[in-house]
Amino acid sequence: MARYLEIFRSKKMVVMLFLGFSSGLPLALSGATLQAWLTVSGIDIKTIGLYSVIGIPYTIKFLWSPLMDRYIPPFFDRRRGWIAICQVLLALCIGILGFQEPANALLLVGLLALFLAFASASQDIVIDAYRTDILESQERGLGSAVFVLGYRIGMLVSGALALILSDRIGWNKTYFVMSTIMALTLLFTYLAPRPPKVTAPPRSIKEAVIGPLKDFFSKNLAVVFLLLIVLYKLGDAYLGTLTTAFLIRAVGFTPTDVGAINKGFGLVSVIIGSLIGGAMMVRVRLFHALLLFGILQAFSNLSFILLDIFGKDYALMVFVIAFENLAGGMGTSAFVALIMSLCNVRFSATQYALLSSLSSLGRVLIAPTSGFVVESIGWSGFFVMTFLISLPALFLILYMRQDIEKLVS
C-alpha cells in the first residue's frame, strides 16, 4: 500500500493528470457534444451517423507520427514542443466552430470538426510518446489510470459541462468557453518536466518509418495482436456512436439530463472503473484482466435495452450508465497496458500511434452504419449487435493466452 501511495504522490502522476486533461478535452467537441448540437439543431439521424467519419484522423494518425519523431520544434523539447503546437491549433479551431450554425453550414462544421480531430490526434501522438518516455515499467499501470482520470475530467468539461452550458448560454458561447480552456492547457505543457533520458531523433524519415515496423512485426503472432487491438474495444465504441442521440431522441431525456447523468455521473463511474482496473492489474495478470474486463464490457452494452423497454426512468438510467462506464474504464486500463507492453521504448511514439490508431479502425469503418442499423432493426437490436461485435476479441484472448502472458513475464 505504501508503494502505491508513493507512486500516486509522485510528480509524474501530476503530469499525467494534466496531460490527460489536455488530451481528453477536444474529443467530445468533435464527437458526442457535437452530436448533441446536431441533434438539437434538427439534423436527421442518418447524417448524424455519417458524421462519425470525422474520427478518421484517430485511425490514421500513425501516418504522420514519424514526422513528429523525426523533427524537433525550436522551443521546449521534441515532445513538449509538438504538444504546444497542437494545443494552439486546437484552441483556434474550437473557437472558429463557435461562430458556426450547423443547420446553415453543415459541410463547414464537418470540415472544422475533421481538422479538430486531426489536431487532437496529433496531440495524442506526442503525449503518448511523452508519457511512455517518463514512466518506469512499475509505474505504467497506475500512471495509465491517473492519465485516464485526467482524460475523463477533460471529457467531462467538454461533455457534461458543455451540454449544461448549451442550455443556458447557447452552443456558440459554449464553444468559445471550451476554446479558452483549451488555450490554458499550454500552461501544463510549459510546467511539465523534460524526459529524464534525452534520445536522439531518427536520422531520417526512412529510419523513423521502417524501424518501428520491423521491430513490431518481428514479434510472434504480430498480426493476431493487431487484430485483437482492433476488436477489443469495438463493441464499446460502436455503442458510443449513438448513445447521446438514443438518450435524447428515443428515451426523451433533455441535454441537461444527459450532461449531468450520462456525462457527469458516467465520468465518475469510468474514473472509478479505470482506477479499480489499474489497481487490480498490480496483482492480476494481463491475460486475466483483458478477459474479465472484456466480458464485463460486452454485457454492459445489453443493459441499454432496459431503457428502450421501460423508457424514461432516472434510476434505471443511473444504473445503466454506471454499469457501462465502470466496465469501460476497467477495460481501458487493461487495453492501455496491452499496448504499452507491445511497444519497444526506442520506437514508442510511432508504435503507440500505430496501435492506438488501429484500435479506432473498426469503429470508424462501422460507425457510419449505426443510424441505418437503428432504423432497420430498432434500438434494442442495435444494442444486441454491439454485444455480438464484442465477442470475437474474447475468443482471441483465449487463443493467445500464452503469448499475452509472455509480454509481461
Break the chain into its structural domains and give their ranges.
11-407
Task: Give the mean pLDDT of 262-284.
Answer: 81
Q: What is the pLDDT of residue 22?
A: 95
CA distances (Å), origin 186, targets 29, 83, 91, 133, 182: 18, 8, 10, 20, 8
Query: How far apart are the C-alpha atoms of 330 and 276, rounded to whole Å?
Result: 7
CATH number for domain 11-407, candidates 1.20.1250.20, 3.90.920.20, 3.40.50.720, 3.30.70.100: 1.20.1250.20
> What confidence tens digit (pLDDT) does each residue in 78-105 have?
889 999 999 999 999 999 998 988 888 8
Total-model pTM: 0.74
State yes or no: pLDDT of 34 exceeds 80: yes
Please compute the mean of the pLDDT values over residues 36-43 and round it to a whole number. Answer: 84
Q: What is the pLDDT of residues 104-113, one digit of tens each?
A: 888 898 899 9
Does 163 have pLDDT greater than 80? yes
Cite the DSSP H helix spans in 30-161.
32-40, 45-50, 56-60, 65-70, 78-97, 106-134, 140-156
Q: How many CB atoms are closer than 10 A to CB 186?
A: 15
Where is average pLDDT lowest: 82-86, 201-205, 265-269, 305-309? 201-205
Task: Output the pLDDT for position 2.
Answer: 55
pLDDT greater than 70 at residue 328: yes
Residue 219 and residue 180: Cα distance in Å, rounded?
44
Span 336-348, average pLDDT:
80
Please name the helix (run of DSSP H) or strand (run of DSSP E) that holds residue 376, with its range, or none.
helix 370-399
Distance from C-alpha of 55 to C-alpha of 36, rounded to nearest angstrom: 16
- What does the block give as the cell for 308? 428502450
**Which residues, in sequence order, are CB contacts of 378 under 8 Å at separation 6+?**
308
Res 165: pLDDT: 92
Q: Do the beta carbons of residue 90 and residue 182 sit within 8 Å?
A: yes
Greater confidence, 138 or 63? 63
Q: How many residues does the chain have?
A: 409
Label residue 5 by pLDDT band (50, 70, 90): low
The CA-based dihedral angle spanning residues 340, 344, 350, 353, taken in that order and rounded to the nearest 10 degrees: -10
When pLDDT is averaged across residues 115-144 and rounded to a whole number, the result is 84
pLDDT digits (tens, 9 = 90+) for 229-254: 989 988 888 888 888 888 888 888 88
CA distance 244 to 260: 12
The per-residue pLDDT of the chain, averaged, comes to 85
Q: CA-to-CA distance for 225 and 196, rounded, in angstroms?
A: 30
pLDDT at 4 over 60: no
Q: What is the pLDDT of residue 408?
A: 67
185: amino acid identity, one letter: T
